[in-house]
Amino acid sequence: MSSLPLPAIRVFDSVARLQNFTKAAEELNMTQSAVSYQIKLLEEFAGAPLFHRRARGVALTDKGELVAPVIRRSLAELSETFRAIRDKQNSVLVVSTMHTFASNWLTSRIVDFQTRFPDISVRFDITSRLVDFAAEGIDCGVRMGQGRWPGLKSHLLLPGGFTPLASPAYLEKHGRPQKPADLLKYHLITPDDDWWPLWFRQAGVEGPLVMTKPGFDIDTQQIIANLALSGGGVALVSAALFKTEIDSGRLVQLFDTCASTGWDYHLVYPDGRQLSPKLRLFRDWILEQAGA
């Protein structure tokens, strides 16, 4: 036999501790003949008997006495190493999320989660792409969509409706629009954004849209809102992500109308497998925060 019969190692340890093939078979949930076969393979590999067979059990030979503590120590070290890996895996929660959601909604609340569950560390994976949860070690994610992704369980977090916002300083300088169509004369930060025609249509503005002021070509809501905060024009962003700025008066919602593409913010994670304790805690917590 050229290679060590690894399955026999665990069997040897059990027999050496219990000094009985039958008891070892019960412990390992094996048949007695299977235990005997594994010990035979190991003895063939060693080239010497490892046990004295007796009427009421077995006893270690000199060679067996030499091997037994080494195997016991090695199995203990392996068990401890894998336990450490498992404990680390269970203590770090990896959340894949979009930049704006992370910076404007999640980061201001995540301290509460870590205060409640100090043994769990949270790491953000900032990306807009759909990740491979298993291959990339991602526990869960926040995505925009209609809530249907193959192989994923989803929970609605926040509505994705968008509405125009501007800073008080910008409105003081340019005046507040009285009706939605007036916005066509303002500096719209992203005038070519596909969201604008949807919002104008929802607000009752018909006909071709002629925007008279230059804007910025930006595709990140966080930067768009920052430009609005600095007085750079009117931002069209998801109201739910900038509720703090609206409530504090730093940004003004210009009209009650919120338009939507039908896409909302969802918590997602692989379906069909048992939730880890850390993911269950995070799911319940974030749904509570979204509800609040």
* Domain presence at residue 131: yes
| Per-residue DSSP letter, 230 | T
> For tokens 């919602």, what's the residue?
253
Say if 1 falls within a structural domain.
no
Tell me whether residue 56 is exposed, middle or buried, using C-beta atoms within 10 angstroms of its C-beta: 0 to 12, 13 to 18, 19 or more.
exposed
**Separation CA 33–CA 49 (nearest Å):** 17
Predicted local confidence at residue 135, as pLDDT: 78
Residue 1 has pLDDT above 60, yes or no: no
Identify the residue with better confidence: 85 or 226: 226
Higher pLDDT: 138 or 283? It is: 283
Do 168 and 207 share a domain, yes or no?
A: yes
Residues 80 and 135 in one domain: no
Based on the fold, state whether residues 151 and 282 are members of the same structural domain: yes
- Does 47 reside within a domain? yes
Mean pLDDT of 97-105: 92
On whether both 203 and 148 belong to a single domain, the answer is no
The verdict on 170 and 143 lying in the same domain is: no
Given a cut of 60, whether residue 87 has pLDDT beyond it is no
CA distances for 271 relative to 76, 148, 263, angstroms: 34, 12, 20
The pLDDT assigned to 205 comes to: 93
28: exposed, middle or buried (Cβ count in 10 Å: 0-12, 13-18, 19+): middle
Please tell me the total count of domains within the chain.
3
Q: What is the pLDDT of residues 262-278, one digit of tens each?
A: 999 999 999 977 888 89
Whether residue 134 is found in the same domain as residue 268: yes
Does one domain contain both 153 and 267?
yes
Segment 84-110 mean pLDDT: 85
Among 121-125, 143-147, 211-215, 229-233, the minimum mean pLDDT is found in: 211-215
Q: Containing domain of residue 221, as a range?
A: 162-253
Residues 98 and 229 in one domain: no
* pLDDT tier, 127 (very low <50, low <70, confident <90, very high otherwise): confident
User: Which helix H or strand E contains 162, and what residues bound it?
Assistant: strand 162-166
State what percent of residues in the chain have pLDDT above 90: 72
Task: Report the CATH number at residue 197.
Answer: 3.40.190.10
Cα torsion 224, 228, 233, 239: sign: positive
Q: What CATH number did the domain enclosing 30 receive?
A: 1.10.10.10
User: Rounded mean pLDDT of 74-91?
Assistant: 73
Taking 90 as the threshold, does the pLDDT of residue 206 lie above it? no
Please indicate, yes or no, if residue 223 is contained in any of the structural domains: yes
Q: Give residue-wise pLDDT tens across range 175-198.
A: 999 999 999 999 999 888 899 999
pLDDT at 56 over 60: yes
In a domain, 193, yes or no: yes
The larger pLDDT score, comparing residue 275 to residue 289, is at: 289
Q: Assess whether 96 and 172 both reside in one domain.
A: no
Q: Are residues 142 and 274 in the same domain?
A: yes
